[in-house]
């Protein structure tokens, strides 16, 4: 899988949920995924080591899932192997048994504008979080971290014998020069319920603390055969991990079947779905990290989506994450979510409190940051919205392309808006014949044209502006453009 890698650390965690009997574990595991953080370097007995925090998230159906099975999911065994990817068979090292942190439960109602004429989707999702810190010797072979339990949801439509197939999630940590890598960070949740023959589009992108380039694909799902393991396996099996077998007409790239549409934009992570058949579907998504044009890592997320029949007037509850922002590095921003009773932002990167409506973040490096807001309304409805924050290296101006000077209190002036500490030095406006309409050398660094010349409002049309400004680094910029005066 990683043909571009000559060495690396693979953190592959197989999550296999073992049933005492098939009916007992019919409906409780509905997905999950992994991430990790690089914490630094250390030396143990003179040998260089890398420190990582590895985190596994498991999603449970806490509405119709069997309680005994869910309790057993609160413990899991992590074991470290050497090698890269899900197809490498390697000897094991460092087994470790851990217990989950307290679970986070979200109760999601099904009557949130989705008016179903048949069975409604899952109404409660519980997330278990397992975290283990590892001190791993620097190794060109890399490592694989595995955890195994059972079982998938028995109602899954697109997988053969889902109750007899455990789940395998995996992520990778490159070695050698890239061994200080942080994995991509997926948001915690995605929309779960969809309507037959209705197109839905949403972003399920990741962020990367290292600034690596990211791409997205629909991914195969990985399994193991349940009869090979005890109910609480102490030592997980190593790679290779077999892929699941799909029911006829379904595949990793066509999880809803050949008559349906399910695509993911490789650059943005935007997923577009038009399902044609109701059912329960397991879907895999992989985020690939690229550094200097070389694939160094993959992070996967398995999700379970439900498709059901809706009336024609079905609507979707949606909170508001705020308008997209453009700021200068070093700026502290307060995100302002609204329209919900409870809030959860992901990823939590840079946020002081991701579980509040208005977390604060300080952006010290340029780039584009995307945050997903998961909101739950007063009535228990669940919805999502995103905000994109573009962080600039230095300040600049946001210049409108139109204004309406009709004294209605909305967009009455043509005014360049500073982004960061920006000072306007000169600002002139001309009509189409080249006559000067406005000329100012503002003492306060701001300039505003009300659309008038000699006290008279000018006719609608296109006007040319010339300005220069000084940015926060002391550089002077000259800008020329046009603005349309509308009535």
Fold of 325-392: Immunoglobulin-like (2.60.40)
Question: In the chain, count of helices (H) and strands (E)?
Answer: 1, 31
Strand, helix or coil for residue 227? helix
At 179 the three-state DSSP class reads coil
Name the token pair of 192. 């779960």
Provide the Cα torsion 243, 247, 248, 250; round to 10°. Answer: -70
Cβ proximity of 205 and 370 under 8 Å: yes
Could you tell me if 36 and 129 are in contact, meaning their C-beta atoms sit under 8 angstroms apart?
A: no
- Whether 325-392 shares its CATH topology with 397-485 is answered yes
Neighbours of 170 (CB within 10 A): 26
Per DSSP, what are the bridge partners of residue 81? 92, 144
CATH code of the region 397-485: 2.60.40.1220
Q: Look at residues 215, 189, 204, 208 and name the one whose alpha carbon lies nearest to residue 369.
A: 208
Assigned token pair, 250: 């379904």
Spatial contact of 13 and 239, defined as CB atoms under 8 Å apart: no
Q: pLDDT tens-digit profile of 74-127?
A: 777 777 777 766 766 555 565 555 665 555 555 444 444 444 444 444 456 778
Q: For residue range 254-263, what is the model confidence (pLDDT) as tens digits?
A: 999 999 999 9
Annotate 286-308 with DSSP letters as a single string. EEEEEETTEEEEEEEEEEEEEEE
Q: Give residue 112's Cα distance to chain centre.
A: 23
How many angstroms from the chain centroid is the CA of residue 474?
37
pLDDT in tens, the chain (487 residues): 333 333 333 333 333 222 233 334 434 678 888 889 999 999 999 999 999 999 888 887 776 655 666 666 677 777 777 776 676 655 556 555 566 555 555 544 444 444 444 444 445 677 888 888 988 888 887 787 777 777 787 788 999 988 777 787 777 777 776 778 899 988 767 777 788 888 888 788 888 888 899 999 999 998 876 544 444 545 677 778 889 999 999 999 999 999 999 999 999 898 999 999 989 899 999 999 999 899 988 999 999 888 887 765 444 678 899 999 988 888 899 999 998 888 989 888 899 999 899 999 999 988 889 898 888 877 666 678 889 999 988 888 889 999 999 888 888 999 888 888 888 888 999 998 999 999 887 656 668 899 999 999 999 999 999 988 888 888 898 999 999 999 8
Other Cβ atoms within 10 Å of 68 Cβ, number: 11
Is residue 63 within 8 Å of 124, Cβ to Cβ? yes
> Contacts by 432-438 with C-beta closer than 8 Å and gap 24+?
432/461, 432/462, 432/463, 432/464, 437/463
Q: Would you give the DSSP letter of residue 100? A: P
Q: What are the respective helix, strand and coil percentages of the chain, to the nearest 5?
A: 5, 45, 50
3-state secondary structure of 368: strand
How is residue 199 written in tokens? Answer: 């197109």
Q: Which residues pair with 135 in a beta bridge?
A: 51
In angstroms, the Cα distances linking 183 to 10, 180, 211, 288, 337 are 11, 10, 11, 10, 27
CA dist., res. 321 & res. 374, Å (int): 9
Domain positions in the chain are: 9-308, 325-392, 397-485
Do the beta carbons of residue 133 and residue 49 sit within 8 Å?
Answer: no
């Amino acid at each position: 899988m990683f043909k571009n890698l000559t060495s690396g650390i693979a953190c592959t965690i197989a999550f296999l949920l073992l049933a005492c009997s098939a009916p007992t574990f019919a409906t409780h595991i509905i997905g999950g995924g992994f991430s990790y953080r690089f914490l630094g370097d250390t030396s143990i007995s003179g040998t260089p080591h890398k420190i990582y925090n590895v985190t596994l998230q498991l999603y449970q159906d806490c509405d119709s899932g069997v309680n005994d099975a869910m309790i057993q999911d609160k413990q899991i065994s992590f074991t470290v192997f050497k090698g890269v990817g899900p197809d490498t068979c390697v000897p094991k090292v460092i087994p470790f048994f851990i217990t989950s942190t307290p679970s986070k439960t979200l109760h999601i109602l099904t009557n949130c504008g989705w008016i179903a004429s048949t069975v409604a989707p899952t109404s409660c999702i519980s997330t278990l979080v397992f975290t283990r810190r590892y001190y791993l010797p620097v190794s060109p072979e890399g490592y694989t971290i595995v955890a195994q339990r059972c079982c998938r949801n028995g109602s899954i439509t697109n997988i053969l014998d889902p109750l007899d197939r455990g789940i395998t999630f995996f992520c990778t940590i490159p070695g050698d020069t890239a061994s200080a890598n942080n994995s991509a960070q997926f948001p915690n949740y995605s929309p779960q319920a969809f309507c037959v023959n209705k197109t839905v589009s949403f972003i399920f992108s990741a962020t990367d603390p290292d600034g690596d380039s990211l791409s997205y694909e629909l991914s195969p799902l990985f399994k193991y055969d349940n009869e090979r393991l005890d109910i609480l396996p102490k030592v997980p099996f190593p790679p290779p991990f077999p892929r699941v077998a799909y029911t006829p007409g379904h595949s990793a790239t066509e999880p809803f079947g050949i008559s349906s549409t399910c695509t993911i934009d490789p650059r943005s992570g935007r997923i577009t779905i038009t399902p044609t058949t109701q059912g329960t579907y397991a879907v895999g998504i992989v985020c690939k990290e690229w550094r200097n044009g070389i694939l160094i890592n993959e992070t996967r997320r398995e999700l379970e989506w439900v498709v059901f029949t809706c009336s024609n007037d079905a609507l979707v509850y949606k909170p508001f994450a705020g308008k997209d922002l453009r700021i200068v590095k070093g700026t502290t921003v307060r995100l302002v979510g609204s329209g919900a009773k409870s809030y959860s932002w992901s990823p939590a990167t840079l946020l002081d409190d991701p579980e509040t409506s208005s977390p604060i973040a300080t952006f010290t490096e340029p780039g584009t940051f995307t945050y997903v807001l998961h909101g739950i309304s007063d009535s228990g409805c669940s919805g999502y919205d995103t905000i994109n924050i573009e962080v600039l290296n230095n300040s600049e101006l946001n210049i409108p392309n139109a204004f309406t000077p009709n004294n209605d209190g909305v967009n009455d002036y043509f005014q360049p808006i500073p982004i960061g500490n920006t000072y306007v030095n000169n600002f002139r406006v001309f009509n189409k014949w080249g006559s000067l309409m406005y000329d100012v050398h503002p003492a306060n660094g701001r300039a505003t044209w009300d659309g008038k010349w000699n006290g008279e409002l000018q006719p609608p049309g296109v006007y040319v502006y010339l300005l220069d400004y000084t940015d926060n680094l002391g550089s002077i910029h000259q800008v020329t453009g046009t603005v349309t005066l509308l009535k």
